[in-house]
Structure 1
Amino acid sequence: MADDLVLRLDGVRKRYNVGLPSEIEVLHGLDFELRRGEFAALIGPSGSGKTTLLNLLGQLDSPTEGEIELLGQPTRALDNDTRTRLRGEAIGFVFQFHHLLPAFTALENVMMPRLAREGRPTPALVAEAKELLEAVGLGALADRKPMALSGGQQQRVAIVRALMARPALLLADEPTGNLDTQTADEVFALLRRLHAERGFAVLVVTHDPRLADRCDRVIELVDGRIVSDGPRVRSASPARP
């Protein structure tokens, strides 16, 4: 259904050094859609254009040609203020490194995206943040600062922070890449559970086929072109990250 469409790319190209002898095209006419409830992986070797594409999808950069629609809104020609507002309202980000603010508690870090929009921590906002931390098993650690949390706990806080914006789209860039195997498995299972409960679209950017094997759809990017896009074909005993 059209109202389930979160993201649409139409002929997206990205070039750098446009008009100079060193001009180079990194992305070559990409087309794909992502709908609410989808849990997809974007895979590809180093240099395939994954980071460039992630920056475009996250509204941190604009395509040279083509269009990216976010919740039906064409974004290529947006001014900076409108782009920033749309990004804050529609997209959540989870990175390999959690990027928590060390001077603030877990609870304060979780509330940051909404505080940027709403300006002050209302009782309802505090209650919502505490409820999310409880949901990921960190309710008792809400007043701890990041240095007093384990790596896995910090990444859980980062996931909750991303969800506080109530995003339609969650972009996860190597979300378990900085964790040991067992912690990575737990964090990814948490991400899948929250996705199932809330129904937002997820795109996990990864070079790890084991992680992609746990997603429902895999988009493969090679040399700036999509070479395959479809349901993941799992083995009888899939490896776990």
Structure 2
Amino acid sequence: MADPVLRLSGIRKSYQSGDSELEVLHGIDLTLQRGEFAALIGPSGSGKSTLLNLIGLLDRPSGGHLFIDGDETSTLAEGEITRLRGQRIGFVFQHHLLIPAFTALENVMMPLLVDRGRPDAAMRERAAALLAGVGLADRANHPASKLSGGQQQRVAIARALAMRPALLLADEPTGNLDTHTADDIFALLREVNQREGTSFLIVTHDPRLAARCDRIVELVDGSIVSDRPHAETPG
């Protein structure tokens, strides 16, 4: 049986607060299989962003073990962490973080350029195919600053897929969008999940969107209090 895309075992995270230490994550155990489409929910201050930063290898846990694609990350050097994050994890944030003066195509090419060092035809073809996949083939040469909010988020999704990551982390990906556009973006994420087999972990405050995921993980006060499959057929 293949290794899960993500496995957390006893993950803890503490921060120094004056003379004392404040623990914000308390022994998190979580496994995400290939192709899963899961929501991470919980009230503000529950530790969702902290957990997502650890899973995305943007920060290191204070204790426990974190595996990405079977690789134990706690023993990896910073360069290895950077390489693993760039090649196997995609990110979509509430704020799309595109480079405004760059075209949609150039923004999607950025992860490939960082990985390979110089642009080439294959890179442009990959970026163009991704933009077509999110319905923006006709906007490839438009500056990001000239695109609507929904279009910018579609570019951000295409960019997140550039390296064919095994895991895509989405932090409130529809938080800045109106309800109709948010539904369209969510449907696109689900389509990518089904077409590419990419695993998704989506942080959302929107119960409507969480209910459309296959699984809902609830975090409260730094601990998982519920981890359940959702019976509703995704739509």
Aligned to 1:182: 180
Q: Cα RMSD over matched residues? A: 1.5
From 12, 25, 28, the equivalent of 1:27 is 25
From 75, 89, 92, the equivalent of 1:91 is 89
From 95, 100, 103, the equivalent of 1:102 is 100
> Match of 1:60, SS?
coil
Offset at residue 129 of structure 1 (A) = 0.9
Deviations 1:28-84 (A, max 9, x none): 000010011100000000010001101100001111010101111111232111100
Aligned to 1:208: 206
Q: Which amino acid aligns with 1:13?
A: R
Offset at residue 159 of structure 1 (A) = 0.1
CA distance in 2, matches of 1:4, 1:124: 30
Contact 2:41 2:217 in 1 (8 A): yes
Q: Which amino acid aligns with 1:68?
A: L
CA distance in 2, matches of 1:123, 1:234: 43
Q: TM-score, normalising length from structure 2?
A: 0.96
CA distance in 2, matches of 1:37, 1:44: 23
Aligned to 1:13: 12
Which residues of 2 match residues 121-140 of structure 1 at below 5 A? Answer: 121-140=119-138
Deviations 1:62-121 (A, max 9, x none): 110101011111112321111000000110000001000012100000000010011122
Structure 2 unmatched runs, 5+: none
CA distance in 2, matches of 1:234, 1:191: 17
Offset at residue 233 of structure 1 (A) = 4.1
> Match of 2:5, SS?
strand
Structure 1 unmatched runs, 5+: none
Aligned to 1:42: 40
Offset at residue 4 of structure 1 (A) = 4.5
Structure 1: 4+ residue segments shifted above 4 A: none
Q: TM-score, normalising length from structure 1?
A: 0.94
CA distance in 2, matches of 1:123, 1:57: 33
Offset at residue 207 of structure 1 (A) = 1.9
> Residue 143 in 1 paired to residue 141 in 2?
yes
Q: Which amino acid aligns with 1:52?
A: T
Q: Which amino acid aligns with 1:168?
A: A
